[in-house]
């Protein structure tokens, strides 16, 4: 029984890490309506910049601030240069543009910082904790706590501040938001900067988990099913989807996987997402599509 | 945000059959290329170019004409490759062409199953279904060694190819074989999209609620799109494995290849037949051109690693540029150019 | 602005773009097919390198070492018996299609210098170019990896898994575990888990491990980690539940540091994890930080700079500023030294072939003869300045591996320290399995195996 709990808890905590990446996607989708495949490369770029600065003896807080500034600039540049000319195109075209963007970012990351792999030490000793006979990783708890704080902050921002209100308006109907005087470029800049911040946090946590190297950008493939299940435009959905994907993928790998040879973690979340979609075609918390003839 | 797929009218109906004739004529001219081109061009550039055009054609039928998003092209190519291989190895009496056709049919059958969710899910979310296919197929082909004739690694290596005594072993013969298959399938597809089925697909793509209202059987149309498209993609996959690479493993058909095929149709032009060639030219030839340029620069002392990174950046920039500049793809650019050329003598 | 005018400008600029595109392609065609003047007197090594992408860390190290060694031969010795070495790189990004295109582009030679051998350092690219290499008569070197049955040169005349093939690798590890358990009979009843990468490379050794488990009586569990290996939580929880004596890690890329970190998460001691030949570099352990301390791995060549050949490279190549590495601190690391060893073996094969065919640029077929008659004993290794760096190797027509021995090293947080002497794989046990597999391949492909008793 305790083994089952261990797998479950481990899965939930891993799922929180997926949600962290997914939240970046959600923010951008809410603001610009695009599924930003380059999010993974942003995570990589951020982590690599931070680690390279720290290795050159820059103080960590300064490195964090500098990296954040760089990411925000990149995010705003993306919004300006790539997305604005492509406004009103098909979602798939926007998606492919962000895919091209990911090539640029990955090439740039290795151009500036080299192809070496780096370790990232956040100062957390990852010895396992024993809570009631169940083994839990300290690092995962820390990551979950960070993600929790982030989510609460974002939720408070969207529901309690003027900025959040404007954001929700823009996400709902950009034209109407324009009509009541909300400055769209400003909102976009803010949201993309927020997404940059979330990417940096995700990059640091994932970088500490995997090491800062090229494969970091592949976390986006884990975030996809999370988003599909939770809906592209809901932060709460990203959390719920992440927890669901993390827990189910680990449990499936251990219990079902051992029966059919293992290695099912790659496709199981996608099949799960598919099944969810069949039941709810717009995701758990997404907005159902309205079609008119 | 609504899930409606917005489209600009433009390339929906192919230009008259003159363009089809031109295409076939130029392809026939290509058959003379082996006399001129070096082995490198034949086996490393033109053959993959043709095969990827074919894969693009398949995906274009599904996504460009019928409007169903698919990110699983590589998985369907894998199914085609492995199915053809199994038919070739386990039923040695059959001709290679029959093996290919059977491989394509198997792919069509399996893809239709993965296409069933399209009856319920619409728009961008549909990628869930084909993504599930992409990862599941990769896993299944690696895991179950029966598919690769009990090779534990899941690697299959191409058997000897021959049709009616003509041995397909040299780069020239492989190129000509691929060319033949491509010409036949392109001609078939070109007439298919002009038929009633093609029009039904476009109706489903543009406004499927309205299409249902006027009596088009949506479900059957969508599933047929999956089936026909995957038949073509499956054959492309088999050619990729047998006539080009020689050995394949399931991870060779990964998500990156799916993205490549999707790039081909978006840059080439969705809803166009000739666009697949332009898109494949972009995706296949451009990186090679960049690589040659990089090689020339490296010879004069520019750092090789930095050059490779610059290539990648440049490729991404060009993709975005094309997407911004011409939403309907290279096929549209060519159309505009031909229009200009036609008008030019008439302008004072 | 007039609407049609703006459309006209757009069309014009589109045409300009198209023209540029076409010119680029034409230029590429010119470059590709341009005939080049015969320069004479050089041997060419095409390099299907990867300096971009997820495996760039290993690629830059390996090709850096290889190029630096060739540079040393040119600078210090004036080439191999007067024949200078030349090379050019083509980026593959570790992608099979690019590797194949690079192979086709470079196989014909450079400026009249014939190609000696290809060294793609990639299982996928190697598989895809096996048939082509055989048809083109160009040796394909897959040092420390590759298709195990290509060890049988009778069926695979042009493929060389130098030094170590995957079967030898796991056999040597099992033998080492035996020595740690008081002899091979001590293996009986022990629990061993193999954590392997979900790819052909990872799956290659599943059957031979089953065979070894049956022979020695240890309890074997083989667990797969799906590519790329970013997430291993459930696999390690499983391992924790099994509680084995040893874990053998057959990883690649990011799977390695994640494995070590995940082991730490479940409290499995790093000094009971043994990494294979692709889990043994500094790049594999550094990202794991503390979790990697005590981790053991195998190596066919120690890291470090304490070897005459490396000191020579430092003196003749690196100090004058012609070193290939961007980061000089990587000099002497595992991947760099692998590149140097690869260079040593390639050049030595050239030397052996020249002894038979003359001191001139040789064709691939002649170089193949050189590889098959490679005989590096301790005396020759001392001459080359590589004693202790390279194991004694003797190849033949039937045996394209030649060595099959490894040393074990342990990570102390800063460096790899060698902790054992050469441990040999059980090649007598492995040979029949390899031959069976090679003959099955020959039958499927319709190849007639060579008769190795004749010296071809």
pLDDT (average), residues A104-120:
88
User: Which chain C residues are closer than 8 Å to A6 by Cβ?
Assistant: 237, 240
pLDDT (0 to 100) of residue C33 = 41
Write out the two tokens for A182: 């909300």
Structural domains of chain C ordered from first start: 42-164+303-394+427-445 (3.40.50.2300), 167-299 (3.40.50.2300)
- pLDDT tier at C408, thresholds 50, 70, 90: very high
For chain B, say whether C226 makes contact (Cβ under 8 Å).
yes
Average pLDDT of chain A is: 86
> Please, what is the Cα angle at C244 between C238 and C245, to 5 degrees?
155
* Chain C residue nearest residue A8, CA to CA: C234
Decide if A215 and C230 are in contact by the 8 Å CB cutoff.
Answer: yes
Confidence check: pLDDT of A110 > 80? yes
pLDDT (average), residues A68-86:
87
Lowest-confidence pick of A249-253, B193-197, C450-454:
C450-454
Decide if A115 and C59 are in contact by the 8 Å CB cutoff.
Answer: yes
pLDDT (0 to 100) of residue C103 = 94
All structural domains of chain B with their residue ranges: 17-252
Residues 156-175 of A with CB under 8 A from B: 171
Q: How far apart are CA B122 and CA B106, in angstroms?
A: 25
pLDDT (0 to 100) of residue C9 = 52
How many CB atoms within 10 Å of residue A61? 8
Decide if C226 and B139 are in contact by the 8 Å CB cutoff.
Answer: yes
Distance to chain A for C389, nearest Cα, Å: 24
Cross-chain CB nearest to A271 (options B2, B132, B213): B132
* Chain B residue nearest residue C322, CA to CA: B301
Q: Which of B245, B280, B330, B340 to mutate to test the interface with C (most CBs of C within 10 A)?
A: B245
pLDDT (0 to 100) of residue B12 = 42
Decide if A114 and C327 are in contact by the 8 Å CB cutoff.
Answer: yes
Cross-chain CB nearest to B2 (options A90, A99, A290): A290
Confidence check: pLDDT of C27 > 50? no
The answer, yes or no, to whether ipTM is higher than 0.95 is no
For residue range C296-341, list pLDDT tens digits in order: 999 999 988 999 999 999 999 999 988 888 888 899 999 999 999 9
Decide if A254 and C238 are in contact by the 8 Å CB cutoff.
Answer: yes
- What is the sign, positive or negative, of the torsion defined by CA atoms of C148, C153, C155, C157? positive
- Helix axes of A268-279 and B127-143: crossing angle, nearest 10 degrees: 150
pLDDT (0 to 100) of residue A101 = 93
Decide if A265 and C234 are in contact by the 8 Å CB cutoff.
Answer: yes
C89, C47 in Cβ contact below 8 A? yes
For chain B, say whether C355 makes contact (Cβ under 8 Å).
no
Decide if A254 and C51 are in contact by the 8 Å CB cutoff.
Answer: no
- pLDDT tier at C31, thresholds 50, 70, 90: very low
Name the pairing type of β-strands C405-411 and C296-299.
antiparallel
Which residues are within 8 A (CB) of C314 and not within 5 positions of it... i.e. 6 or more apart? C305, C331
Average pLDDT of chain C is: 88
Chains touching A, CB cut-off 8 Å, 3+ pairs: B, C
Decide if C33 and B41 are in contact by the 8 Å CB cutoff.
Answer: yes
Decide if C203 and B308 are in contact by the 8 Å CB cutoff.
Answer: no
Which residues are within 8 A (CB) of B129 and not within 5 positions of it... i.e. 6 or more apart? A274, A277, B72, B114, B115, B117, B118, B121
pLDDT (0 to 100) of residue B348 = 57
pLDDT (average), residues A201-230:
87
Separation in Å, CA B121 to CA A234, B126, B224, C68:
19, 6, 16, 57
* Chain A residue nearest residue B2, CA to CA: A289
Evaluate the omega torsion of the peptide bond into residue C228 and state whether it is cis, within 30 degrees of 0: yes
For chain B, say whether C133 makes contact (Cβ under 8 Å).
no
Cross-chain CB nearest to C287 (options A6, A114, A211): A211
Q: What stretch of H or E contains C172?
A: helix C166-180
For residue range A138-155, list pLDDT tens digits in order: 888 888 898 889 888 888
Confidence check: pLDDT of C146 > 50? yes
For residue range C383-394, list pLDDT tens digits in order: 999 998 999 999
**pLDDT: is C364 or A282 the higher one?**
C364
Residues 206-235 of A with CB under 8 A from B: 221, 224-225, 228, 232-233
Helix (H, G, I), strand (E, B) or coil at C86: strand
B180, B100 in Cβ contact below 8 A? no
Decide if C226 and A254 are in contact by the 8 Å CB cutoff.
Answer: no
A91, B251 in Cβ contact below 8 A? no
pLDDT (0 to 100) of residue C50 = 92
pLDDT, mean of each 10-residue run, chain B (348 residues): 42 51 66 76 90 96 92 95 91 88 95 91 85 91 81 75 80 88 92 93 89 91 95 96 86 90 91 92 88 82 80 89 85 88 78
**pLDDT: is C7 or C331 the higher one?**
C331
Confidence check: pLDDT of A107 > 70? yes
Tell me the backbone φ, ψ of residue B162, rounded to 5 degrees: -160, 145
Cross-chain CB nearest to A289 (options B122, B255, B323): B122
Residue in this structure with the two tokens 């501040």, named with its chain if needed: A161
pLDDT (0 to 100) of residue C309 = 94
pLDDT (average), residues A167-192:
83
Confidence check: pLDDT of C151 > 90? yes
Distance to chain B for A213, nearest Cα, Å: 15
pLDDT (average), residues C155-177:
94
Decide if C265 and A137 are in contact by the 8 Å CB cutoff.
Answer: yes
Write out the two tokens for C415: 């460096």
pLDDT (0 to 100) of residue B21 = 67
For chain B, say whether C455 makes contact (Cβ under 8 Å).
no
Q: How far apart are CA C257 and CA C225, in angstroms?
A: 13
B54, B185 in Cβ contact below 8 A? yes
- pLDDT tier at C221, thresholds 50, 70, 90: very high
CA atoms within 13 A on the CB side of B44: 24
């Amino acid at each position: 029984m305790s083994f089952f709990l261990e797998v479950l808890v481990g899965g939930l905590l891993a799922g929180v890490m997926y949600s962290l990446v997914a939240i970046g996607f959600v923010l951008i989708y809410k603001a610009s309506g695009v599924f930003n495949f380059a999010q993974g490369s942003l995570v990589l770029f951020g982590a690599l910049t931070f680690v390279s600065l720290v290795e050159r003896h820059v103080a960590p807080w300064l490195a964090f601030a500098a990296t954040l500034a760089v990411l925000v600039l990149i995010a705003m540049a993306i919004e300006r240069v790539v997305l604005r000319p492509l406004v009103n195109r098909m979602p798939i075209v926007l998606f492919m543009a962000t895919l091209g963007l990911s090539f640029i970012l990955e090439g740039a990351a290795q151009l500036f910082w080299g192809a070496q792999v780096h370790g990232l030490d956040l100062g957390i000793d990852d010895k396992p904790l024993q809570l009631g006979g169940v083994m839990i990783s300290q690092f995962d708890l820390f990551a979950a706590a960070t993600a929790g704080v982030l989510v609460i902050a974002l939720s408070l921002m969207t529901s309690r501040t003027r900025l959040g209100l404007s954001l929700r308006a823009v996400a709902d109907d950009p034209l109407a938001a324009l009509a009541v005087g909300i400055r769209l470029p400003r909102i976009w800049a803010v949201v993309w900067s927020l997404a940059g911040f979330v990417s940096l946090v995700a990059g640091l946590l994932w970088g500490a988990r995997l090491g800062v190297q090229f494969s970091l950008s592949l976390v986006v493939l884990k975030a996809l099913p999370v988003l599909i299940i939770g809906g592209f435009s809901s932060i709460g959905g990203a959390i719920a989807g992440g927890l669901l994907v993390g827990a189910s993928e680990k449990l499936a790998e251990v219990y079902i996987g051992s029966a059919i040879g293992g290695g099912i973690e790659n496709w199981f979340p996608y099949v799960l997402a598919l099944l969810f979609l069949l039941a709810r075609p717009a995701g758990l918390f997404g907005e159902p599509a309205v079609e008119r003839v | 945000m609504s899930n409606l797929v917005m489209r600009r009218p433009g390339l929906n109906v192919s230009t008259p059959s003159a363009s089809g004739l031109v295409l076939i004529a130029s392809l026939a001219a290509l058959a003379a290329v082996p006399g001129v081109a070096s082995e490198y061009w034949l086996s490393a550039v033109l053959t993959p170019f043709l095969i990827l055009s074919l894969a693009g054609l398949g995906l274009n039928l599904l996504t460009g004409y019928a409007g169903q998003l698919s990110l699983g092209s590589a998985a369907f190519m894998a199914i085609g490759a492995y199915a053809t291989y199994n038919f070739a190895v386990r039923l040695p009496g059959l001709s290679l062409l029959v093996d290919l056709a059977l491989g394509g049919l198997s792919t069509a059958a399996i893809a239709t199953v993965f296409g069933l969710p399209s009856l319920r899910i619409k728009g961008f979310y549909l990628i869930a279904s084909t993504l599930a296919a992409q990862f599941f197929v990769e896993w299944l082909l690696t895991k179950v060694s029966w598919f690769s004739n009990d090779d534990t690694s899941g690697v299959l290596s191409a058997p000897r190819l021959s049709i009616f005594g003509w041995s397909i072993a040299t780069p020239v013969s492989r190129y000509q074989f691929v060319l033949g298959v491509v010409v036949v399938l392109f001609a078939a597809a070109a007439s298919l999209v002009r038929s009633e089925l093609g029009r039904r697909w476009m109706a489903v793509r543009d406004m499927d609620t309205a299409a249902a209202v006027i009596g088009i059987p949506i479900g059957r149309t969508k599933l047929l799109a999956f089936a026909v498209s995957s038949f073509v993609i499956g054959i492309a996959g088999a050619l990729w494995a047998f006539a080009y690479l020689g050995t394949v493993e399931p991870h060779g058909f990964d998500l990156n290849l799916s993205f490549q095929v999707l790039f081909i149709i978006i840059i080439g032009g969705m809803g166009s037949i000739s666009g697949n060639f332009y898109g494949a030219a972009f995706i296949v030839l451009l990186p090679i051109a960049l690589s040659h340029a990089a090689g020339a620069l490296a010879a004069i002392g520019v750092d090789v690693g930095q050059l490779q990174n610059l290539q990648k950046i440049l490729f991404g920039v060009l993709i975005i540029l094309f997407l911004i500049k011409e939403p309907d793809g290279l096929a549209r650019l060519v159309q505009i150019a031909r229009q200009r050329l036609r008008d030019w003598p008439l302008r004072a | 602005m007039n609407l049609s005018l703006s459309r006209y400008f757009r069309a014009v600029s589109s045409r300009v773009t198209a023209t540029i595109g076409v010119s680029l392609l034409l230029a590429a065609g010119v470059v590709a097919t341009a005939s080049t003047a015969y320069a004479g007197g050089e041997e060419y090594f095409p390099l299907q390198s990867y300096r971009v992408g997820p495996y760039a860390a290993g690629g830059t190290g390996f090709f850096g070492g290889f190029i630096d060694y060739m540079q040393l031969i040119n600078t210090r010795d004036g080439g191999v018996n007067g024949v200078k070495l030349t090379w050019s790189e083509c980026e593959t990004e570790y992608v099979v299609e690019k590797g194949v295109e690079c192979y086709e582009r470079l196989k014909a030679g450079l400026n009249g210098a014939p190609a000696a051998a290809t060294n793609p350092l990639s299982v996928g690219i190697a598989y895809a170019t096996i048939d082509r290499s055989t048809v083109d008569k160009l040796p394909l070197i897959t040092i420390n990896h590759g298709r195990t049955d290509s060890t049988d040169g009778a069926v695979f005349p042009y493929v060389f898994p130098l030094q170590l093939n995957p079967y030898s690798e796991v056999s040597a590890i099992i033998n080492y575990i035996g020595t740690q358990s008081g002899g091979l009979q001590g293996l009986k009843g022990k629990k061993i888990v193999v954590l392997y990468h979900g790819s052909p490379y990872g799956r290659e050794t599943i059957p031979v491990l089953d065979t070894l488990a049956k022979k020695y009586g240890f309890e074997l569990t083989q667990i797969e980690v799906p590519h790329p290996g970013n997430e291993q939580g459930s696999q390690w929880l499983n391992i924790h539940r099994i509680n084995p004596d040893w874990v053998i890690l057959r990883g690649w890329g990011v799977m390695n540091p994640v494995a070590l970190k995940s082991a730490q998460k479940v409290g499995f001691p790093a000094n009971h994890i043994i990494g294979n030949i692709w889990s043994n570099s500094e790049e594999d352990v550094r990202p794991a930080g503390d979790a990697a301390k005590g981790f053991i791995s195998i190596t066919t060549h120690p890291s470090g700079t304490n070897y005459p050949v490396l000191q020579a490279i430092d003196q003749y190549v690196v100090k004058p500023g012609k070193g290939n590495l961007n980061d000089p601190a990587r000099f002497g690391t595992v991947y760099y030294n692998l590149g140097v060893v690869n260079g040593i073996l390639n050049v030595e094969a050239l030397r052996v072939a020249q002894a038979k065919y003359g001191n001139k640029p040789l064709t691939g077929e002649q170089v193949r003869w050189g590889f098959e008659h490679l005989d590096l004993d301790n005396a020759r290794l001392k001459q080359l300045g590589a004693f202790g760096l390279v194991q004694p190797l003797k190849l033949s027509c039937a045996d394209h591996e030649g060595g099959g021995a490894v040393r074990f090293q342990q990570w102390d947080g800063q460096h790899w320290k060698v902790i054992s002497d050469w441990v040999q794989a059980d090649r007598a046990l492995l040979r029949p399995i390899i031959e069976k597999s090679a003959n099955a391949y020959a039958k499927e492909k319709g190849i007639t195996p060579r008769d190795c008793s004749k010296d071809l």
